[in-house]
């Protein structure tokens, strides 16, 4: 029983890291059909946001008493940062490439390289300044009444909001770099997020240690999934997104602004990548390549679950998680030590992290031979196909 619980917990823990990372992709790739290879780098931006938030909470005197809760603030910030960069990416690159998946793949891969090099060679203080400038530049028109944005005066107002945002960005960059010296120099070094003390260590329960960071990641994943499901099922924009997914020209005819839907979908997907970045930063170190390590896993989860199906993504990530633990940790050997020796040695051979990965990939390939569209294929005819 204890063994079962422990294995289940580990599987869920591994699965929830996969799930939180794949959730954004499930929306972007699953709903919009955009192959976004820069998804990992959007996660990386989320991880760096956590790092910067942590430093700010450590350095600024009036925030110090709240240091213990910086992770929660970081989740919000990471969502906004990755969401902003994602929207910029959608507006500048992806929008021009809808309907040409190969070009999208190459272009987003290029963007991922740019983003990696960007965090290596730009001081983080100025990088945050740039993101803040982009954030206000992109979103401030939403808060200005539409009448003011038309005509010659509108152009002037738009330009001045960008100017104001740029100033704000420069100011933020300057303040941050003078406040936190670690952020004022560019560095290719990996950095570290240290969990506040209440999140370190584990909880002992029925003889098993549950690491607190893992519990927190499971919680973050759970909340993100619930919010996404609620958003897609119950809100007006969620319903519009699903309508556009199912039939873009018809939705367009019925008066749904597909362009806005694209922006919102991509923004949310990217923002979720940022949230995943926070989770990942709690487990390991934060570096330019941190997101790249997850991207293959994310696509695997989405494809296995069935493109465009959230439930499939959830089930797929948990089954991969549980399989990783079952095979990689050699659980079967502990459960059934008297198994016939050829079987024993085979399972023992795969009971390492490297071989478990091979095994899981092989199993997924076999599974996809029988169910090419994943666990839960889209029902009915899609317009595109």
Partner 1 sequence: MKLSKRIFAGLATASLAVTVTACGGSDSSGNFDDTVTVGILHSLSGTMAISESTLVDTEKMAIEEINAAGGVTVDGKSYKIEYIVEDGASDWPTFAEKSKKLIDQDGVPVVFGGWTSASRKAMLPVYESKDAFLYYPIQYEAQECSNNIFYTGATPNQQSEPATDFMYKRSPAAGGDFFLVGSDYVFPRTSNTITKAQVKQLGGKVVGEDYLPLGNTEVAPIISKIKVALPDGGIIVNTLNGDQNVAFFKQIQDAGITPSNGYYVMNYSIAEEEISTIGPEFLEGHYGAWNYMMSIDTPASKKFAKSFKKRWGSDRVVADPQESAYNMVYLWKQAVEDAGTFDDNAVREALVGQTFDAPQGPVEVMANHHLSQTVRIGEINSEGGFTILEETGVVEPQAWNQKHPSSKGFACDWTDPKKGEKYRM
Binding of partner 1 by 385 (CB under 8 A):
no
25 binds partner 1 (CB under 8 A): no
| Residue closer to partner 1 (CB basis): 151 or 196 | 196
In a 13 Å sphere around the CA of 290, the CA atoms on its Cβ side amount to 31
- In the complex, minimum distance from the CB of residue 46 to partner 1, in angstroms, rounded to a whole number: 15
Nearest to 18 by CA among 323, 267, 375, 332: 323
Six token digits for residue 44 = 């990386």
Does residue number 185 form part of the binding site for partner 1 (CB under 8 A)?
A: no
Say how far apart CA 174 and CA 213 lie, in whole Å: 33
Binding residue count for partner 1, defined by CB under 8 A: 42
Which residue reads 């998804």 in tokens? 39
Among 101, 151, 196, 201, binds partner 1 (CB under 8 A): 201
Interacting residue with partner 1 among 328, 347, 350, 364 (CB under 8 A): 328
Which class for 345: exposed (0-12), middle (13-18), buried (19 or more C-beta within 10 A)? Answer: exposed
CB 4 within 8 A of CB 209: no
Q: Which is closer to partner 1, CB of 204 or CB of 384?
A: 204
For partner 1, the closer of residues 100 and 121 by Cβ is: 121
| Tokens, residue 293 | 């390590």
CA dihedral (199, 310, 11, 21) positive or negative? negative
Q: Is the dihedral of CA 169, 170, 176, 182 positive or negative?
A: positive
Report, in Å, the least distance between residue 301 CB and partner 1: 13
Q: Binding pattern to partner 1, positions 288-317, x when CB under 8 A?
A: -x--xx------------------------
Task: State the Cα–Cα distance between residues 147 and 152, nearest whole angstrom.
Answer: 12
* Binding residue (CB under 8 A) for partner 1 from 188, 311, 362, 382: 188
Give the shortest CB-342-to-partner 1 separation in angstroms: 21
Cβ atoms within 10 Å of 53's Cβ, excluding its own:
24
Asked if 353 is part of the footprint of partner 1 (rule: CB under 8 A), the reply reads yes
Q: Which is nearer to partner 1, 89 or 327 (CB)?
A: 327
Residue 41 in the binding site for partner 1 (CB under 8 A) = no
Residue 183 · residue 38 · CB < 8 Å: no
Among 190, 235, 257, 260, binds partner 1 (CB under 8 A): 190
Which one-letter DSSP state was computed for residue 208? E
Contacting positions for partner 1 (CB under 8 A): 6-7, 10, 13-14, 17, 188-190, 192, 194-195, 200-202, 204, 209, 211-214, 282-285, 287, 289, 292-293, 324-325, 328-331, 334, 351-354, 356-357
């Amino acid at each position: 029983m204890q063994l079962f619980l422990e294995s289940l917990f580990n599987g869920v823990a591994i699965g929830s890291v996969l799930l939180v990372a794949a959730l954004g992709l499930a929306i972007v790739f699953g709903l919009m059909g955009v192959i976004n290879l820069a998804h990992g780098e959007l996660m990386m931006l989320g991880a760096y946001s956590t790092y910067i938030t942590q430093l700010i909470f450590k350095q600024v005197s009036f925030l110090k008493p709240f240091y213990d809760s910086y992770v929660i603030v970081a989740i919000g910030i990471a969502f906004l940062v990755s969401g902003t960069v994602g929207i910029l990416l959608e507006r500048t690159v992806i929008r021009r490439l809808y309907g040409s998946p190969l070009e999208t793949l190459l272009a987003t891969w290029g963007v991922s390289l740019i983003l990696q090099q960007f965090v290596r060679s730009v001081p983080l203080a100025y990088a945050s300044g740039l993101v803040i400038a982009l954030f206000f530049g992109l979103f401030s028109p939403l808060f200005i009444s539409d009448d003011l944005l038309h005509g010659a005066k509108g152009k002037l107002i738009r330009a001045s909001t960008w100017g104001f945002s740029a100033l704000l960005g420069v100011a933020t960059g300057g303040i941050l770099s003078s406040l936190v010296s670690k952020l004022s120099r560019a560095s290719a070094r990996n950095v570290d997020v240290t969990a506040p003390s209440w999140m370190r260590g584990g909880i002992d329960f029925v003889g098993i240690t549950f690491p607190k960071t893992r519990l927190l990641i499971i919680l973050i994943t759970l909340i993100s999934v619930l919010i996404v499901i609620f958003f897609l099922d119950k809100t007006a924009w969620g319903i519009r997104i699903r309508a556009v997914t199912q039939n873009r020209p018809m939705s367009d005819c019925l008066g749904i602004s597909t362009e806005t839907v694209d922006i919102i979908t991509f923004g949310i997907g990217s923002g979720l990548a940022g949230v995943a970045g926070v989770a990942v930063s709690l487990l390991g170190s934060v570096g330019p390549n941190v997101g790249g390590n997850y991207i293959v896993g994310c696509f695997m989860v989405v494809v296995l679950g069935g493109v465009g199906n959230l439930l499939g993504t959830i089930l797929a990530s948990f089954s991969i998680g549980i399989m990783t633990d079952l095979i990689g940790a050699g659980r079967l050997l502990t459960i059934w030590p008297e198994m016939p020796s050829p079987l024993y040695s085979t399972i023992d051979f795969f009971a390492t992290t490297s071989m478990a990965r091979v095994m899981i990939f092989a199993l997924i390939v076999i599974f996809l031979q029988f169910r090419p569209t994943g666990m839960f294929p889209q029902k009915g005819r899609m317009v595109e196909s």
